[in-house]
Each structure stands twice: as structure tokens, then as C-alpha cells.
Amino acid sequence: MSSLTTADILDDMAFFDDWESRYGYIIDLGRELPAMDEALHTPSRMVKGCQSNVWLDAQINGEKLHFIVDSDAHIVRGLLALVLAAYNDKTAKEISDFDIDGYFKQLDLERHLSMTRGNGLRAIVAKIRAIAAAVLADNYL
């Protein structure tokens, strides 16, 4: 999963003719995410604003940010995989510079999500971008 890029995902999604197949693909991506240690399922790691429970842990490896994520909903784990393809193991500057809205637009994603799922997706992105901003301001950890 970690080597999957946004370009790979865009190519794969274009292969499917309908959204039912795309949802299946997204759920499969979520199944490929590494498991998060249950000890990391803490209130401080919960992403607020999500319909489902979502946990996000950030670690700094050199200049790059590494994220460990989990959710109790299969589709949300898949959405987390889409987000990680854009942000995981990138520098804080790369994260802040990445056009996530353009990526989601290319996926035609938000049009096919419920409003609550879309809000949750934006909450996850906002939390990751806030972590990146804190790292850039040398104000993280």
C-alpha cells in the first residue's frame, strides 16, 4: 500500500465503469492499510468531525511525515488510503503544497459521498494539513 501513488489510484479508478466498482476498489484499498496498534486508539488521536471513528497518528521520520490511520468503517479506511496516497511519507512542504481538492475532483469523489462522509474526509485532510503546518512552523512534537 505505501508505494501506491495518487497517479496509480487515478489510473485504477479510471478503469472502472461505475461507482459500485469504484467503491469496491476503495474498500479494498482500506483492507490493505497496515493495522494500527489498538494502544493508539486514544481520544487525542481521534479525528473530530467524522461520522465514523477515525484515528490518526503522525510520526516524523527525518524530514518526512508518516501517518498511521484506522477507522471502524470499511469505506472510511478506503478513503484514508486515498488520502495517504497523497500525504504519507511526504515532507510537510509537500503536504501543504499538494492540491488535494484537485485530486478529489479528478477522482470525482465528493459527488459520490454522503455529506457526512465528505465532511469527515475534509476533517481528516484538515488534521493532516494542520500537522504539516505545525511542522513547518517548527511547532510540532
One digit per residue, the tens of pLDDT, for the chain of length 141 reads: 457 899 999 999 999 999 999 999 999 999 999 999 999 999 999 999 888 999 999 999 889 999 999 999 999 999 999 999 999 999 999 999 999 999 999 998 878 888 888 888 999 999 999 999 999 988 665
Q: Sketch the domain layout of the chain as residue ranges.
A: 6-136
The alpha carbon dihedral of 24, 30, 33, 37 has a sign of: negative
Q: Of 83, 76, 112, 114, whose CA–CA distance to 100 is shortest?
A: 83
Answer whether 0.85 is exceeded by the pTM. yes
CATH architecture type of domain 6-136: Alpha-Beta Complex (3.90)
C-alpha cell at 37: 496498534
User: What per-residue confidence (pLDDT) applies to 1?
Assistant: 47
Q: Is 78 exposed, middle or buried (0-12, 13-18, 19+ CB in 10 A)?
A: buried
The CA-atom distances, in angstroms, between 6 and each of 16, 29, 41, 102, 139 are 16, 12, 27, 11, 28
Owner of C-alpha cell 487525542: 44
Question: What are the residue numbers of the active site?
Answer: 50
